[in-house]
Amino acid sequence: MRSLCVLFFFVSMACAETPPDLRTRKTGSDWPMFLGPTSNNVSAESGILTKWPREGLKVVWEAPMGLGYAPPVTSRGRLFHFDRFGDDCRLSCRNAETGKLLWKYEFPTTYEDLYGYSPGPRACPVVDDNRVYVYGPDGTLVCVNVADGQKVWSLDTQKEFHVHKNFFGVGSVPIVEGDFLIVAVGGSPKGPRPEDLREAKGDGSGIVAFDKLTGKVVYKITDELASYSSPVLATIDGRRWCLYFARGGLVGFEPKMGKVDFQFPWRSKPLESVNASNPLIVGNRVLITECYGFGSALLKIAAGKKSETIWTDGEKERDDQTLRCHWNTPVHVDGYVYASSGRHENEAELRCVELATGKVIWKEPNLERCSLTLIDGHFLCLRERGDLMLIKVNPKKFEPVAKWQTELDFPSWGAPVVSHGMMYIRGKDRLIAAELIPAKK
């Protein structure tokens, strides 16, 4: 009987219908995962409005948010956001064009932040065909059905892998590769959490690949602990790679079998230091960056070999370092990298850096910490206190084009999301959906 139930489960999953497309805007693309369809905060859409009215872009709809920092994602006319309401984490599904709530899925949480930050989710949802995955701040990993929000499977990674509570909970976004859901878990041997987290050890479950349909573990690799960066996939010289900027440094591996190619140590010494910016992959080069001490490093990678260092900030004084990204991920355009550099709001600068050399070309202060999305030759630049700027891509100088003083509150930390002409920006307790590309009539 059990065999028949298992068989029925797999047949049901295999035959599950793809939900209908709710879009009326047929041009453009979905934004189903962290940092967009190509995982690098780049949108291929065009025709954006570059002259903004004094009152800002047209707001099509807005919705209240719960606790947390996670930006939304979109798929087939649906928008998903992940927040905390009371003692529950809630995944909400809305019509992306109207904001109408379609369904919600909730599960209880007791997470409390060690440093007094929001106890809500840090990681955004991930949509894959007829499934959507969320990873709560307490390590609860859940798969639900896109059509109706019914749970498919769930797992308490903190309990299963004995994860020592990190400074700000769980904040890494999983990623789908083929039949696998690749998750930064960072488990440790059983025992009490050390008072100094620098003394924590891994147990080989730094990165775990799960069967995306069932939640069953496929493989576990590396003793690295989890960070606030997320795994990134790429094809380099004809081979698939997954790169993860873990708590202790960069891990490069082949995602189908979980074979590790190299580990590159990169973590500053202070207890509270974290790695949060995603690796930026350009050809066979990888840029990693943090803001607590070491700054940035550019590496060259090849299958089966140790990484080759092109340049680093490691031995430089802080004021001389090329790039010190906090949570935001740099964006690459034609040999130049653009990003917010600086740990604190008052010291942050928007910078343009020559990737090959690490030379700072220009820097613009007084923009707070900000996040960038590249679209149609421009950057959407969301500052952490809610102001939105449109900046023309220009490696020679800072060239602002338009500005909108939105009603979003601090912290507005998620980069703008663009999907089918609509732009979604999130602040402390509000999500705004605005028309960035006029709908074709």
Q: Is pLDDT of 8 > 70?
A: no
pLDDT (average), residues 74-94: 98
What's residue 398's pLDDT? 98
Instruction: Place 26 in a pLDDT band, splitting at 50, 70 and 90.
Output: confident
Domains and CATH numbers, the chain: 23-435 (2.130.10.10)
* pLDDT tens-digit series, residues 273-320: 999 999 999 999 999 999 999 999 999 999 999 999 999 999 899 999
Instruction: Place 18 in a pLDDT band, splitting at 50, 70 and 90.
Output: confident
What's residue 16's pLDDT? 58
* pLDDT tens-digit series, residues 141-182: 999 999 999 999 999 999 999 999 988 999 999 999 999 999
Q: Is pLDDT of 138 > 80?
A: yes
Q: Is pLDDT of 334 > 80?
A: yes
Q: Is pLDDT of 404 > 70?
A: yes
Q: Is pLDDT of 12 > 50?
A: no
pLDDT (average), residues 60-72: 97
Q: What are phi and psi of 345, to 5 degrees?
A: -55, -45
What's residue 6's pLDDT? 47
Smallest CA-to-CA distance from 255 within 271, 239, 277 is with 239
Tell me the pairing of strands 180-184 and 175-177. Answer: antiparallel
* pLDDT tens-digit series, residues 314-328: 989 999 999 999 999
**How many angstroms separate the CA atoms of 312 and 328, rounded?**
19
Query: What letter does residue 8 receive in the DSSP assignment?
Result: H
- DSSP track, 271-299: TT----SPPEEETTEEEEE-SSSS-EEEE
Question: Does pTM top 0.75 for this prediction?
Answer: yes
Q: What is the 3-class SS of 50-101, one letter each residue?
A: CCCCCCCCCEEEEEECCECCCCCEEECCEEEEEEEECCEEEEEEEECCCCCE
343-347 contact pairs (CB < 8 A, 24+) = 343/291, 343/292, 344/369, 345/369, 345/384
